[in-house]
Amino acid sequence: MSASLELSLPAASVAAPAPQPSRSYWLVVWRQLRRDPMALAAGGVLLLIVGAAVFAPWLAPADPYKASMIKRLLPIGSPGFLLGTDELGRDMLSRLMHGGRLSLLMGVVPVLAAFGIGTTIGLLAGYIGGKVNMVIMRVLDVFYAFPSVLLAVAISGALGPGMSNSLLALTLVFVPQVVRVAESVTTQVRQLDYIEAARMSGASAFSIIRVHVLGNVLGPVFVYATGLLSVSMILASGLSFLGLGVKPPEPEWGLMLNTLRSAIYVNPWIAALPGALIFVTSIAFNLLADSVRSAMDIRR
The CA distance from 61 to 68, in Å, is 15
pLDDT band at 17, cuts 50/70/90? Answer: very low
Averaged confidence pLDDT in the chain: 85
Phi, psi of 230 (to 5 degrees): -65, -40
Average pLDDT estimate for 125-146 = 87
Neighbours of 122 (CB within 10 A): 28
Question: Where do the structural domains in the chain lie, given as residue ranges?
Answer: 89-295
Lowest model confidence (mean pLDDT) among 19-28, 160-169, 252-261: 19-28
Per residue in 167-212, pLDDT tens?
Answer: 999 999 999 999 999 999 998 888 877 777 877 887 777 787 787 7
pLDDT at 12 over 60: no
Question: Residue 193: CB partners within 8 Å, gap ≥ 6?
Answer: 4, 5, 6, 7, 16
pLDDT at 9 over 80: no
pLDDT at 143 over 50: yes
| DSSP code string of 118-170 | HHHHHHHHHHH-HHHHHHHHHHHHGGGGS-HHHHHHHHHHHH-SSHHHHHHHH
Average pLDDT estimate for 64-76 = 90
The pLDDT, as a whole number, for residue 201 is 80
The CA distance from 34 to 24, in Å, is 15
C-alpha distances in Å from residue 205, one per residue of 128, 195, 214, 266: 9, 10, 12, 65
Question: Residue 178: CB partners within 8 Å, gap ≥ 6?
Answer: 114, 115, 117, 118, 119, 122, 221, 224, 225, 228
Q: How many helices (H) and strands (E) does the chain have?
A: 12, 0
> Could you tell me what percent of the chain has a pLDDT over 90?
49
Q: Which of 129, 122, 131 is nearest to 214 (CA)?
A: 122
The pLDDT, as a whole number, for residue 32 is 83
Q: Determine the CATH number of domain 89-295.
A: 1.10.3720.10
The CA distance from 236 to 167, in Å, is 8
Q: Which of 171, 203, 268 is nearest to 16 (CA)?
A: 203
Q: Which residues pair with 91 in a beta bridge?
A: 85
Amino acid at 102: L
Per residue in 251-300, pLDDT tens?
Answer: 999 999 999 988 888 888 998 999 999 999 999 999 998 888 888 775 55
Lowest model confidence (mean pLDDT) among 15-19, 139-143, 220-224, 247-251: 15-19
Element (H, E) at 37: helix 37-54
pLDDT at 19 over 70: no
The CA distance from 278 to 104, in Å, is 10
